[in-house]
Amino acid sequence: MSPSPVFPAEDSDYAFAMDTTSTTTSRINKFDGTNFHTWKFKMRMVLEERDLWEVTCGEIKLEHCATTLDQTTFKRKSRKALAIICLAMEDSQLPLVRSAKDAFDAWSRLEGHFEKKSLANKLFLRRRFFTTMMAEVLSRRRLDQLRYTGRIPV
């Protein structure tokens, strides 16, 4: 039996190595709705490590699987990836992915919710950035004024 072009034959040593890293997910802080980009990067590394990223990001889809074996492998990997994603989230965030049918669906929902790429969101983020910058400049000016008047020692 030749290896599948979609899912090459899995090395048994690698499968054993994956089992020894099962605590990796527990070392990642559960996603609580803040700092999505950091959590997303760490989750991608966990999913890459376990050879599940391709089904999560949509690089491999069920339609690409020609054989029954490939389809079974895809479904198993997708279920595993979905479980890892859900277990790495706080309970308060689970409603976002609770009805996801697979890992790709869950990942897409999270990206859609936390990485809004609309023009309105870009303008909002730009305004927030410049407001923060101005607040920092004004704080420095105020600090300089207080130092100049002698109210804060240099």
Report field, pTM of the whole predicted structure over 0.75 = no
Instruction: Please say if the pLDDT value at position 7 is more than 70.
Output: no
Among 43, 26, 31, 54, smallest CA distance to 113 is for 31
| Domain definitions of the chain by residue range | 12-114, 117-154
Termini Cα distance of the chain: 77
pLDDT in tens, 81-104: 999 999 999 999 999 999 999 999
pLDDT in tens, 29-74: 999 999 898 999 999 999 999 999 999 999 989 988 889 999 999 9
Instruction: Please say if the pLDDT value at position 18 is more than 70.
Output: no
42 contact partners, CB below 8 Å, separation of at least 6? 28
Instruction: Please say if the pLDDT value at position 20 is more than 50.
Output: no
**Residue 5's pLDDT is what?**
55
Locate tokens 């599940």: which residue?
A: 52
CB atoms near residue 76 (< 10 Å):
13
**Residue 32's pLDDT is what?**
94
pLDDT in tens, 107-148: 999 999 888 776 777 787 788 877 877 777 777 777 777 777
57 contact partners, CB below 8 Å, separation of at least 6? 104, 107
Locate tokens 């936390």: which residue?
A: 114
